[in-house]
């Protein structure tokens, strides 16, 4: 029996490795696609010139810069943001034992949108130095909202249902507050607000991508170390999990706050990108089951893949208009999601 388990595990690691390779390949493919119509050979040349500078000279400097300065930060950020949101969704679902929970169930996304709108209302513009103010506003509001929800729902050692309900209430509250701002704001700023809300990577900078990469790496290490705890916490009610020796409340708070922090950082840099926080984990669960040792890295893969595909499609399909990724991800993800639900047996029930 245990040999079979070990064999299964080995298969899962192999699958994961293969998927990572697939993701890398897709990133390279995406690197070759862009609105300026650089021929494939030129793109490959630019890639090789960077990776193996001794062997491949830079043939066309403009194309080289387009590939590495304009396309790469964007692609990198897209994959990291998608991975981060999906992993956050996975952990939140484990903490709340609810497969329909996403980072946004706590109300974070609407809180972030409100924070950004408020910053724009108070004068920050979408361009230039005050861009940081918008990100800061989004981040602060997201974290405040999450802390509030946790604090309230934890007061009486609350069950997770309470947390979800309060989070939903916050979602509506912040949505109303954002709508209020949109109503009173003038036209020029309104377009800024909407532009930010839809989520996009067009303002990706290498430093942002690197920061998020580092953050995601640290967070994933923490989550992986806690993968057993997450398995246990998602397996039964709080009382039973406590008898296994786990400090349920403490773990929930700490892991939950880390999730919130990661999500808030991503939203504040990339705008609101919904849906991947629910679909990413679900897709991963169908492939590898509910064991978090595999689920966490796999959901990082599915999330990164989903956003990469969506962003690339949004860049290419409607040129020169660049469709925000927040919109495209729903179009891309929903059919996949429906197909998965309807064709495969569900990996969970309730």
Partner 1 sequence: MRSYKMLVSAMLAAGIVAGIGSMNVLADEITFTDDAGREITLEKPLEKVVVFNKFNSEIIRAVGKVDTIVGVDANTAQDTEYWNGWDDSMVVANSQSDIDFEKVAALEPDAVILPSNGDYEGCISNLESFGIQTIVVTGWQNNGFDKQIDIIGKAFDVEDKAKEYIDFCQDQVDLLAEKLKDVEPVSVYLENSGDYCTCLPGSGWNDMVSMGGGVNIFNDIDFATSDQSKGSVHSYEVSSEEIVARNPQAIFINIYDSAAKPGTSIYVAPDPDSMNATLQAVADRPGWSAIDAVKNGKVYGISAFAGNGCFKIVGATYIAKYLYPEEMADVNPDDFFKAWLEDWQGVSYVSGHAAQLQ
Partner 2 sequence: MNLSVENVSFHYKTNQVLKNVSLCGTSGEVIGILGPNGTGKTTLFKCIGRILDKYSGEIRIDGKSILDLSKNELAKTIAFVPQDTSVSFAIDVYHAILLGRTPYVRLGATERDLEIAQQAAMMMGLEKLAFQNIAEISGGERQRVFIARAIAQEPKIMILDEPTSALDLKYQISTMKMVRKIAEEKNILVIIAMHDLNLASRFTDRILLMKNGVIVSDGTPGEVLNEKTIQDVYDVDIGVQYMGEIPHIYIK
Under the rule (CB under 8 A), what is the footprint of partner 2? Answer: 1-2, 4-6, 8, 93-94, 97-99, 225, 227-228, 231-232, 234-237, 239-240, 242-247, 285, 289-291, 293, 347-350
Angle at 234 (CA atoms; ends 233, 240), nearest 5 degrees: 55
Size of the site for partner 1 (CB under 8 A): 27
Q: Tell me: does residue 41 bind partner 1 (CB under 8 A).
A: no
In the bound state with partner 2, the residue whose beta carbon lies nearer, of 6 and 194, is: 6
Site for partner 1 in 51-70 (CB under 8 A): 62-63, 65-66, 69-70
| Placement of tokens 């929800």 in the chain | 149
Structural tokens at position 160 = 């997770």
Report, in Å, the least distance between residue 216 CB and partner 1. Answer: 24
Among 1, 4, 155, 186, binds partner 1 (CB under 8 A): 186
Q: Which region holds residue 291: left if phi is over 0, alpha if psi is between -120 and 50, else beta?
A: beta
Instruction: Choose among 218, 197, 224: nearest CA to 295.
Output: 224
Phi, psi of 278 (to 5 degrees): -100, -45
User: What would you report as the CA-atom Rg of the chain, rounded to the nearest whole angstrom?
Assistant: 21
- Nearest CA-CA partner of 287 in 300, 269, 271: 300
184 is a site residue for partner 1 (CB under 8 A): yes
Question: In the set 7, 28, 122, 321, which binds partner 1 (CB under 8 A)?
Answer: 321
By CB under 8 A, is residue 203 in contact with partner 1? yes
Q: Output the smallest distance, CB 255 to partner 2, in A.
A: 16
44 or 220: CB nearest partner 1 = 44
Indicate the DSSP class of residue 346: P
14/157 with CB nearer partner 2: 157
CB-count burial class (<10 Å; 0-12, 13-18, 19+) for 192: buried
**186 contact, one of partner 2, partner 1, none, CB 5-8 Å limit per kind:** partner 1
């Amino acid at each position: 029996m245990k040999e079979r388990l070990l064999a299964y595990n080995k298969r899962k690691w192999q699958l994961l490795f293969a998927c990572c390779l697939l993701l890398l390949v897709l990133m390279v493919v995406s690197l070759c696609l862009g609105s300026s119509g650089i021929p494939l050979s030129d793109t490959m040349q630019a890639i090789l010139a960077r990776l193996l500078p001794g062997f491949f000279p830079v043939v066309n400097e403009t194309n080289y810069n387009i590939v590495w300065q304009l396309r790469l930060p964007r692609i990198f950020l897209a994959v990291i943001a998608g991975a981060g949101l999906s992993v956050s969704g996975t952990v939140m679902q484990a903490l709340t034992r609810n497969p329909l929970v996403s980072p946004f169930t706590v109300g974070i996304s609407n809180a972030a949108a409100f924070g950004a709108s408020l910053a724009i209302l108070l004068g920050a513009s979408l361009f230039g130095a005050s861009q940081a103010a918008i990100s800061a506003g989004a981040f602060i509001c997201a974290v405040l909202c999450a802390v509030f929800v946790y604090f309230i729902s934890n007061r009486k050692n609350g069950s997770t249902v309470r947390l979800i309900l309060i989070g939903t209430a916050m979602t509506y509250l912040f949505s109303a507050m954002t709508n209020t701002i949109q109503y009173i704001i003038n036209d020029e700023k309104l377009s800024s607000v909407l532009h930010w809300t839809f989520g996009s990577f067009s303002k990706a900078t290498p430093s942002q991508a690197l920061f998020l990469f580092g953050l995601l790496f640290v967070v994933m290490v923490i989550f992986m170390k806690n993968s057993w705890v997450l398995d246990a916490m998602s397996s039964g009610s709080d009382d039973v999990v406590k008898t296994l020796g786990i400090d349920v409340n403490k773990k929930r708070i700490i892991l939950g706050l880390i999730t919130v922090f990661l999500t808030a950082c991503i939203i504040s840099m990339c705008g609101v990108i919904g849906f991947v926080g629910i679909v990413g984990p679900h897709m991963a669960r169908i492939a590898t089951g509910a064991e978090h040792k595999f689920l966490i890295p796999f959901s990082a893969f599915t999330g990164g893949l989903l956003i990469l595909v969506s962003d690339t499609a949004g860049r290419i399909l409607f040129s020169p208009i660049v469709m925000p990724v927040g919109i495209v991800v729903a179009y891309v993800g929903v059919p996949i999601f429906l197909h998965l639900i309807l064709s495969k047996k569900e990996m969970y029930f309730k």
